[in-house]
């Protein structure tokens, strides 16, 4: 018996990091299938190898409405139902301060960061809405410590994740009573989260930052850097109708205690 027995989910950015941990955990909690939207064809190959027929992989860009619709349609088409959307694909800005960007870079990187981190969530929600209303399902979005505090990125990332918080609240309001809308807010996590191509950081990974693990672990009251799997149970809880029936517009923080850091 799993908490998600018989359910079907769709995870954007589910080919790596936190999204991949959610895919794995949803399947182990009884999901009959998970749609996964990826940007890298290799991620698709790896997912099919690992999970076989229990995943349907859709190559696409979350900034495209048509790609989001294809992902929803492929998931429903393959598994015959749809219970949970996990909007998760994201990019980071590598702490780039405002004055480190010239006007052209700022213009382009705003469009890229907000295109993925905010518009991508809106388009996924729009594409999934009708099917989730029909199934009384739920949406879960990956936010961040940067949804609440300064210092988890530069102004573009922090603003985009604050926008994500507003989006969760507004969508929870608009989709009630049929669809619950919630979020998980991880803190520093050992993933290969990338930067924006528009800042020349498209191939740079979070884990390329020297001493990133140690810096996060030192700064957090729980003295750890999270692994992607550390967050996955929060998504299970929020997706579970039996365990979260009365929960909407909630954000589960999974950040090692960011809010209670000592001065």
Torsion angle defined by CA atoms of residues 201, 206, 211 and 214, in that order, rounded to the nearest 10 degrees: 160
User: Quick one: tokens of 63?
Assistant: 């900034």
Distance of closest approach, residue 17 Cβ to ligand NAD, in angstroms? 2
Q: Report the residue number, 81 or 213, with the smaller CB distance to ligand NAD.
A: 213
Distance of closest approach, residue 103 Cβ to ligand NAD, in angstroms? 24
**Cα 9 from Cα 34, distance rounded (Å):** 5
157 in catalytic set: yes
Task: Note the residues at the interface with ligand NAD (CB under 6 A).
Answer: 13, 15-19, 37, 39-40, 61-63, 88-91, 116, 142, 144, 186-189, 191-194, 206, 228
**Cα 163 from Cα 74, distance rounded (Å):** 28
Q: Report the residue number, 33 or 186, with the smaller CB distance to ligand NAD.
A: 186
Catalytic residue among 79, 94, 148, 157: 157
**Cα 55 from Cα 75, distance rounded (Å):** 9
- According to DSSP, the residues that pair with 254 across neighbouring strands are 186
Q: Where are the beta strands (DSSP E) in the chain?
A: 8-12, 33-38, 55-59, 84-87, 138-142, 180-186, 251-254
Q: Report the relative pairing of strands 251-254 and 55-59 from DSSP bridges.
A: unpaired
Distance of closest approach, residue 67 Cβ to ligand NAD, in angstroms? 8
Q: Report the residue number, 119 or 241, with the smaller CB distance to ligand NAD.
A: 119
Q: Report the residue number, 116 or 252, with the smaller CB distance to ligand NAD.
A: 116
Q: Collect contacts of 99-105 with beta carbons under 8 A, ≥24 apart.
A: 100/154, 101/199, 105/198, 105/199
Report the first-to-last Cα separation within the chain, whole angstroms. 45
Distance of closest approach, residue 62 Cβ to ligand NAD, in angstroms? 4
Closest listed residue to residue 19, CA positions, set 35, 32, 41, 3: 35
Q: Report the residue number, 171 or 193, with the smaller CB distance to ligand NAD.
A: 193
Distance of closest approach, residue 66 Cβ to ligand NAD, in angstroms? 13
**Catalytic residue numbers?**
157
């Amino acid at each position: 018996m799993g908490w998600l027995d018989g359910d079907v989910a769709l995870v954007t950015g589910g080919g790596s990091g936190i999204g991949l941990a959610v895919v794995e955990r949803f399947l182990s909690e009884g999901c009959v299938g998970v749609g996964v939207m990826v940007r890298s064809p290799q991620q698709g190959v790896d997912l099919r190898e690992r999970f076989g027929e229990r995943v349907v992989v859709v190559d696409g860009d979350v900034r495209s409405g048509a790609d989001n619709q294809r992902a929803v349609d492929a998931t429903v088409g393959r598994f015959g139902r749809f219970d949970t959307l996990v909007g998760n694909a994201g990019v980071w800005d590598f702490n780039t301060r405002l004055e480190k960007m010239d006007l052209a870079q700022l213009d382009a990187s705003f469009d890229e960061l907000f295109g993925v981190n905010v518009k991508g969530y809106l388009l996924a929600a729009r594409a999934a809405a009708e099917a989730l209303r029909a199934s009384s399902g739920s949406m879960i979005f990956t936010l961040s410590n940067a949804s609440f505090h300064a210092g988890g990125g530069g102004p573009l990332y922090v603003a985009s994740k604050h926008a994500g918080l507003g989006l969760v609240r507004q969508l929870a309001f608009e989709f009630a009573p049929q669809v619950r809308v919630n979020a998980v807010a991880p803190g520093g996590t050992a993933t290969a989260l990338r930067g924006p191509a528009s800042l020349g950081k498209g191939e740079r990974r979070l884990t390329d930052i020297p001493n990133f693990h140690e810096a996060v672990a030192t700064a957090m009251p729980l003295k750890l850097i999270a692994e992607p799997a550390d967050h996955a149970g929060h998504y299970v809880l929020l997706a579970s109708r039996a365990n979260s029936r009365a929960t909407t517009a909630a954000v589960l923080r999974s950040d090692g205690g960011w809010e209670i850091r000592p001065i």
